[in-house]
Structure 1
Amino acid sequence: MTRYRLLPLLFVFMVTLTMYSQTEKEYCEQWRVERDTISDIDFYLEYNKIMMTKADETCLTDIYMSQANIYGMKKNIDSSLYYYDKVAILAKNTDSEELLLSTYLYKAYVLLSNYRKDEIIPILQKARSILSKDPDNNSWHFYYTLKSISAREDREFDKAINYIDSSIVVLKRTKDTVNLLDAYQNKGTYYLHLNNYTKAAEIFLQTIGTDEKPSDLLRLIGTYYNLGFCYVKLDKSETAIKYFNEGILRAKKIGHDYEIASFHLALAGRYRDLKEYDKAIDNVDSASEISQKMKYNDLIIEGLQKEGMIYYDSSLDYDKAETCFIEAYKMSKELNIGKTLPSLFGIIKIYLKKGEYNKVKEYLKPFEETVNKNRELDSKKEFHKIYSEYHEKTKQFTSALEHFKKYHAIKDSISSQEVQTQVANLEKKYETKKKELAIVTLNQEKEEQQQITKQARAQQHLYLLVACLLLLLLAAGAWAFRKLRKQQKELVSTNQVKNRLFSIIAHDLRGMILPFQRSGKILKYHINKGNHEKTIELSQALEQNSESLSNMLDNLLNWSLEQMNGYKMNPEKISVSEQLNEIISGYEQQATFKKTKIDLKYKEDLWVNFDKGAFHVIFRNLLGNALKYTEGGNIRIEFTSEDNLLLCSVIDTGVGMSQEQLNHLFTLEDKKSTIGTKGEKGTGLGLNLVYRFVKMNKGIIEVSSEKRIGTRFDIQIPIIKNIYHPMLKNQESLSA
């Protein structure tokens, strides 16, 4: 009876639960509809907090993610990370790896955006472990983008370009045009950091379309800022101002205060370059007003630095400039933001201007430490300029001259000297032409004299040109004569080596072919006599002789190609373990015959760009040589990588070599090949080929050996490793 009394209560509980669930779903639908209509970010945050108490678990995940993203955009990092962690907990509870992956990637992005790079390493490792299960996952592009940003933070911009190229491969495959534009924008930024401003501007201009969609505005803001910066570096301030103003217009449309303030600071710098100091101060004030209100500490510091430089350049108020720089420096150190270099630069310039050299000396050490950490050429250039000026003011003229030379050396290396020279030459020609026309118009009487002068100059140029041509022909003849003499000597030496080599080959080929000539009669005789053991023994000997003959002919062909410069390197992506296993399989029968074990040992496989034919020539000859002199023993092949080097060793327990043999191991002069343990013959050409092909690949080969103990060959070859996973196996570019 008790059981039946509980049935109505259970029914009421189920109905109530159903009604409550329906209410949660309604709240969720309401949130999804209304979130797109809210433009006030602060109101959006409060609205999300209210809906958190009413929505179901599925919807709660989206609300948490939205809250985390908004706090990240507002630079409220702790709150952003807090909500990402809540999403991660829900994802783990529901076994949603896709949601967990998104959480890891967005969390890493927020940390990277706020100078906390060291914290992202374990997060990206977790993300990769999820991505490795799905090679076609579209989030690979986000992962590679974060890796490129991380490389950028380490100032490894070439590596960053490789990572972003991997992201571009994924985006092209998925036809994600929006993120593809962002990827190209990042690539342009990395070229910008490499001081290749022309290439960077070219990439940025390609990402600007004629039809701007609202969704494109945020990307365009960054593009216009970067374009402006490129033209600043190319000394085109007016063009830079144009793009900075375009950026402000678009940032205002979407209410991005941080970007608006950044553009105002950039404009302040450009107006300072143009000596329009009132406009420069107005833009600093506009940026400071926004930064103080929104508590953008990094922009507050930058604003103080800009203001200090304006007061310094305009000579309006050196004390005011000093106050700005010192306040910015102290704020940078207290908040650990890392923008101390411009402040230190300004402080030192002020004290140099005031002649307060003891105070200059106080700030020189932190200035030098900051420059060394920064590692940019522009910073090093200013560092040597400051030191040169300081040593000059303090009568240390030798040190001043040394730093002055370094300053100009760096300046020449980073300036667009060629472009500036061309522009200057064009302007000079234009001005000269104008003056010539003016002179002709104002003074017709001097026309004849000018014509005579021009003809005389033309004749001088002609004589000079003829003299230069004669000197050039004389130099070319001397060079050709020396080259012919050198080639003649090399040809005589090469012919001597070839003559010795072909005499050895002729002798060995004759010795190898004779058994084939007699083998038919001998085999027939033993078969008729029923001597099967002799037949098997003779067959094995013939097989061994044929393999030796085949190897000799292969080596001779490769050697002849290399001698005639006919061997063309064709690097391709290969697996080291696969190629070595293929080579080993070709020697399995011979190893079994000689009762020798061949082992291949490595921790992890390597995918490298290498010429497959050269790889086989090197390791086929090393393995064949080891097997030739090893019987009833072991041969071990090991490989690994270190500092972009392929390290490979071939170790055997064979008969070993004497020191005299080691001294002439890789040469063909006076070569006397040693007979193998089963009577195998050779020419010594194989190891010479190994040496030549290793050198062709800019590698190093070393050998050590001891009689009756064995021999060890060690090879180091520079390589380019490939980032490899199944999705990218057939793609064009992946970085290391």
Structure 2
Amino acid sequence: MKQLFIYAICLSAIFSFAQNAKIDSLTVRLAYQNQDSTKVETSLLLINELYKLQDYNKATLFIAQTSELSKSLNYTKGLAETSYIQALIYDAQNQQNKAVSNFELARDYFYNSKDTLGLAKVNNSLGVIEIERGNYTKGLQNSLSAISIFEEKDLKEELSKAYNSLAKAYFNTNKLEEALLYNKKALSVREELDDMKGMKNTLKNLGQLYAIKKDYRLSIDSYERMLKLLDKEEDKNLRGEIMTSLGKSYLAIDQLDKASDYLREGLDYSKANNDESGILKSLNAYADLNTRNRRLKLAENQLYQANELARKLKNDEELLYNLKLNRDLDEKRNFFEDAYNWQKQYFALKEKLDQQKLAEKAIPTREITEPKTIETPLISPEQKVNKDTLIDTEPQQSKKNTLLIYSLIAALVFAIALLIFSYLKGSKDSKEKKQFEKKNKKLAAKNMQLEEVNQVKDKLFSIVSHDLKDSISSIKAFLDLLKDGGISKEEFNDLIPELSENANNASSLLFNLLNWSKSQMQNLQPKPELFNIQEVFQIKISLIEKKVNDKGIILIDESRREFVFADRSMLEIVIQNLITNAVKFTGKGDVITVSNQDYNGKVLICVEDTGIGISEENQKKLFNAKKNFTTIGTENEKGTGLGLTICKDLVELNNGRIWVESTPNIGSKFFIELPKAALQE
């Protein structure tokens, strides 16, 4: 390996020396030549060598000198070639607007000198730029016009570039068969050129295309051929990506053992190289594999990590895949409500991505005009003047002037008539417009109100349904045990009090939900009344006693008899959500304390826990309706991310406020401040 490395360095040094010697030789030759077309040709050879070495500053200097000499000699070829190479330099420097202008100028010169090869090179370069910009139709037109000439003259380098750009354009316009065809052609040419980098890229493209077409065997073949070309040191990140892609293809044909080997290796490579994008793709694919193998807990952890990473990297495509996998996982675990939430997020993101793709396709393309006829290279296309417009006789000019005067008078009369008509019509339209705008404002206000109601309704049902699910699932579990003979009738009779309590809890929740929705959903106006907050605490604590005992949590009730003026149904939902959250984020030995006290003439309610706490960054997200922020509990309990948002809505509707004080690993305190009596108008 060491000998090969030294050999490569030697070859590079020899090649560099040879190139520098060639440049020196051309520079010396140029200095002794006369100011004629031969000097232009020598200068063009030198410019090409400098361009290959990426010495763009020197190349640009010689381009300016050569262009001036070509103009003085009326040498169209020199002007065409200098414009073309200058455009290539601008393109390499990502100055695409300047590149396009120079390509168009070069094309005009090539057209006038009837240089079909020059025209083809320019058209292909313009095609590549338009494809890079996303103007695929325009790019295809330009590149396709160049292909036949390159094929006829067997120009491998140009064909490689043209085939590759056409393949990309067809892929991005969803013409997969054409994309496959031109990728295959590109691979064939690049193999002839021994272009290792080009071969790797094309094989990767083929692997991706076959996977999209569900030809997974061919996809695997392309990726495995590519693996053989990868350098272990130079292509570490690429190797990790291809291992993951191979794993996904084997996964698609249910060869789970091979899929596991490749996915594991892909994840190891990505972690070793700290390639977050590769880690994300590997975690998603690995989670898919583990879901199929019924390793659901492992799949859940991997999907959680991948979800956070996708959002951090703003990788919407992988996030979409992650949401689909989360949905599939929860369906497998019979967590149908959670699966429904993932499904909603999936379709919302998919719609957003589809709209973005449509918007990209709708971006207006820059029109590339047909080549211009240039009468003399001395005059640039921008300076060209049509001499016919300067030669005219006086009688002709006089007739034109008379016609112009009549035209102006007719235009003036028409404009006055139009103004009068517009004024008369405008006064009538103005009244209709005002009435129309008034109706629109009313409709907009009504729509906004309906939308607000729908949002609160959706959030509310998501929260309450979680609690209903727990109670009903518990009842169903006991009944299933009895049906399957898991417990005797005597043992079942002993459980009847607990079943009755669960049924009462579910009934109470349903009653509160239906009562609240019936009375409040019309206009979101609370129905405040005076009620004892201690009673609410006692009822809500009874609902979560079993969960508290199961987790080994200590719950302390320090509430006291005190009257609050608020909508009781609304506040019950808030209190239940805060207590449930406290249970969710505490573990064995932790303490939850509920209390209330008089504070500045108002009631201050507090739900405190000694759980895992909340970071300062996450505290800012808790009450934000747009963030839909959620985290996993101490026993991997999952939430909707909507609870505290609806709590904030309901508290504020009752002229109160809600806030949090928390320290990570120490605990959290949620406070609610509410009036003790009706507010004076």
| TM range, smaller chain | 0.3 to 0.5
TM-score (norm 1): 0.36
